[in-house]
Amino acid sequence: MKAEIITIGDEILRGEIVDSNKALLAERLRRLDIECHYQSSVRDDRRDMRDAFRRAVERSDVVLVSGGLGPTRDDITSEVLAETFGRELLLDAASLESIRVFFQRIGREMSQANRKQACFPSGAEVLPNPAGTAPGFALQEAGTLVFCMPGVPRELGQMMDEQVLPRLEVACEKALAASTAGREAAGKPVVRARLLRTFGMGESSLEEELADIARDGDVELGFRTTFPDNYLRVVARAASASEADNAIERVVKRIHDRLGPLVYGEENESMAQVVGRLLAECGKTIALAESCTGGLVAQKITDVPGSSSYFLGGVVAYANSAKVRLIGVPESLLAEHGAVSEPVVRAMAEGVRERFRADLGLSVSGISGPDGGTPEKPLGLVFLALARGEATHVDHFVFPIERSRHRTLAAQVALDWVRRSLLGLELTGPSLLRQRGGGPSPGAPRS
């Protein structure tokens, strides 16, 4: 399916706001393996909007529209869409009542201007908006699915996740089945694809490692970087779906054989989801002690539904006093070695494991910058420790990147350590952006 995104508003064209909605919608589309072919921004102008709507319906299977659903005179998305495709603009009583209830809930009286937000093109399906006063709507025009959503990013994201994606998933399944059957019957090639997620090796190194794979024939290999991961997309064309699937399976097996544990998941399964699944399958629990990552590891873990079954808790021990009081790190270690050091990060992992009575204790401490580095402890230095029943593993790396990316990479390495530990693999760090600091062998048990 070919998708198009249209964001509406004079403020976007004037540069008064950063248009983050395009990125939000494109990222959500990618979850369903829907490619976004076109993106555009349009003024609050009837002629420009009509042109954009007509063009989008002519060339795309799915059109996502954001903005222009508010109560003011320049919010004209519903009106213009109805005009463009010869539909009536009808008042939806249920939506009007929902808007009234929304204002009652916040202690305000609904303005008559809000009445227009309950008007939709005939034939449209209303999409509820529990976070605001602007319902969205969906309609089908000349075989194209059109979804109109509010421009407020928080409302847009919730509506996309709760209302649009489930409908798109059903549409994708129907389109795939119809396309596959039709192409097989017509003797045309069937196209199938599979996404592999990797962590620990840069894009150019992956290309070199897989240089001889999927170079010839009807299977192609594509690369995409989404820091700190790299994705591999295997695409096969064959006379039938089963032949294409078999071709993909053969290439995927070669990739797994070549890369080993660098491939951590497939399709939409994140590193945190993989770790959560493994913890649940192994019946293990984990507790965290974070310093430089500031709770980012805990956030990633708890983003996964059901994480309460294996995540016992964590401590963001940023200050030295917190490390002493909350985790039990000896003051003497901090005085002698400093917060970013092997003895301290080891004590953090073992201390949090003991306090939470968890099977695994994971800790991270580093210098994310932009200040705080020294010749002995440069910017980007990070120590990790994983305390298990039999031993504690410690290693340190230098990732010379800016603060936000440093924290993201450190958190991903920490999660990868948990994955590797549960799989019985060597604990190691990524080769991308890495400068080894001369630490111990990460696979050797430390006591």
pLDDT per residue as tens digits for the range 20-72 = 999 999 989 987 878 899 999 999 999 999 999 999 999 999 999 999 999 99
pLDDT band, very low/low/confident/very high, at 214 (cuts 50, 70, 90): confident
pLDDT band, very low/low/confident/very high, at 205 (cuts 50, 70, 90): confident
3-state secondary structure of 7: strand
HEC letters along 211-280: CCCCCCCCEEEEEEEECCEEEEEEEEEECCHHHHHHHHHHHHHHHHHHHHHHEEEECCCCHHHHHHHHHH
Q: What pLDDT, on the 0 to 100 scale, is given for residue 436?
A: 40
Q: Is the model's pLDDT at 393 over the cut of 70?
A: yes
Residue 337 belongs to what H/E stretch?
A: helix 331-337
CATH number assigned to the domain with residue range 2-179, chosen from the 4 options 1.10.357.10, 3.40.980.10, 3.40.50.300, 3.20.20.70 = 3.40.980.10
CA dist., res. 116 & res. 108, Å (int): 18
Q: Is the model's pLDDT at 442 over the cut of 80?
A: no
CA dist., res. 194 & res. 357, Å (int): 40
pLDDT band, very low/low/confident/very high, at 440 (cuts 50, 70, 90): very low
Q: What pLDDT, on the 0 to 100 scale, is given for residue 444?
A: 34
Provide the pairing of β-strand 229-238 with 190-198.
antiparallel
Which class for 357: exposed (0-12), middle (13-18), buried (19 or more C-beta within 10 A)? exposed
Q: How far is CA 10 from the centre of its chain?
A: 29
pLDDT band, very low/low/confident/very high, at 175 (cuts 50, 70, 90): confident
| CATH 3.30.70.2860 domain position(s) in the chain | 189-266
Query: CA 221, 226, 227 angle in degrees (round to 5)?
Result: 130
pLDDT band, very low/low/confident/very high, at 184 (cuts 50, 70, 90): low
**401/181: higher pLDDT:** 401
Which of 415-418's residues contact partners 24+ apart within 8 Å by CB, and which partners? Answer: 415/271, 415/272, 415/275, 415/297, 415/300, 415/301, 416/199, 416/200, 416/264, 416/271, 417/362, 417/384, 417/386, 417/393, 418/275, 418/278, 418/279, 418/286, 418/360, 418/362, 418/386
Q: Which one-letter DSSP state was computed for residue 369?
A: S
pLDDT band, very low/low/confident/very high, at 443 (cuts 50, 70, 90): very low
Q: Is the model's pLDDT at 183 over the cut of 70?
A: no
| CATH 3.40.980.10 domain position(s) in the chain | 2-179
pTM: 0.69
Provide the pairing of β-strand 311-316 with 136-141.
unpaired
pLDDT band, very low/low/confident/very high, at 78 (cuts 50, 70, 90): very high
Laid out side by side, the sheet with 35-42 consists of 35-42, 2-8, 62-66, 144-149, 136-141, 125-127
Q: Is the model's pLDDT at 435 over the cut of 60?
A: no
Distances (CA, A) of 37 to 178, 226, 328: 21, 19, 54
**185/142: higher pLDDT:** 142
Mean pLDDT of all residues belonging to the chain = 90
Our CA dihedral for 270, 273, 277, 279, rounded to 10 degrees, sits at 110
Of 312, 408, 316, the residue nearest 360 (C-alpha): 312
Q: Which one-letter DSSP state was computed for residue 113?
A: G
- At the top level of CATH, which class does the domain 189-266 belong to? alpha beta
The correct answer on CATH 3.90.950.20 for the domain covering 273-436 is yes
CA dist., res. 418 & res. 394, Å (int): 13
| CATH 3.90.950.20 domain position(s) in the chain | 273-436
Provide, rounded to the nearest whole percent, the portion of the chain with pLDDT above 70.
94
List residues bridging with 365 in a β-sheet.
383
List residues bridging with 265 in a β-sheet.
197
Under a CB-based contact definition with an 8 Å cutoff, are residues 180 and 245 in contact? no
3-state secondary structure of 137: strand
Burial string for 269-281 (b: 16+ CB within 10 Å, else e) reads ebbbbbbbbbbee
Q: Is the model's pLDDT at 107 over the cut of 60?
A: yes
405 Cβ contact list (under 8 Å, min separation 6)? 227, 228, 399
Q: Is the model's pLDDT at 447 over the cut of 60?
A: no
Q: What pLDDT, on the 0 to 100 scale, is given for residue 216?
A: 73
